[in-house]
Chain A
């Protein structure tokens, strides 16, 4: 079956612009996670959704970052007023239920110029 998909695969934007990154989890997976991976580093947790609600957003770096999952499936990570320091690979993962194996998507590489 299909895995976690993320679009776009690459996004180049100018400093100050707004971007949206999309995640399509594995069908039937109720838990969804966003991580950010900077070059040469391990992924860092951003936010966790159980169903439609953000159960833990403690990893979001500041209020320029926001994520939604309105129907409990697809999620969108939104970044306002992008900064060069936001450049990274943004990974999405889903799991069948909380605490079970997380399956990662290929990520969206965001470059802020």
Chain B
């Protein structure tokens, strides 16, 4: 009930391409879905987040697509750049209090020039 499953484990994209990372969750009570970006030796940093009352949220080159009926959400990185090379984590939590984040296993993205 608490799992968040993330795929792919690793991803290689050419500069300018679209990176797509997918996540699926089990607990239908989850209502906050953030994506974090982590560089080596650093802590995760919030990239973008969505709540289930909308199906899509866009911030610059980053878009979250959310499918409530399928219990899936995905991150799209448009015009991927070498500086986007990092590990990306999806997460989910219950609101109505504090955000105890349940993370996916991560996707290591490499953007080649």
Instruction: Enumerate chain A interface residues (CB-CB to B < 8 A).
Output: 4, 31, 33, 35, 40-45, 48, 50, 55-56, 59, 91, 93, 95, 98-107
Contact = CB atoms under 8 A, between A and B. Distances in A.
Contact of A43 (B42, B89, B97, B99): B89
B44 A45 contact: no
B61 interface: no
Interface of B: 4, 6, 36, 41-46, 89, 91, 95-106
Nearest to A41: B105
Q: Is the interface of B mostly helix, strand, loop or mixed?
A: loop
Contact of A106 (B42, B95, B98): B42
Nearest to A6: B43
B106 to A, nearest CB: 5
B51 to A, nearest CB: 12
B18 to A, nearest CB: 23
A99 B99 contact: yes
Given A56-B100, A102-B99, A40 B41 contact: no
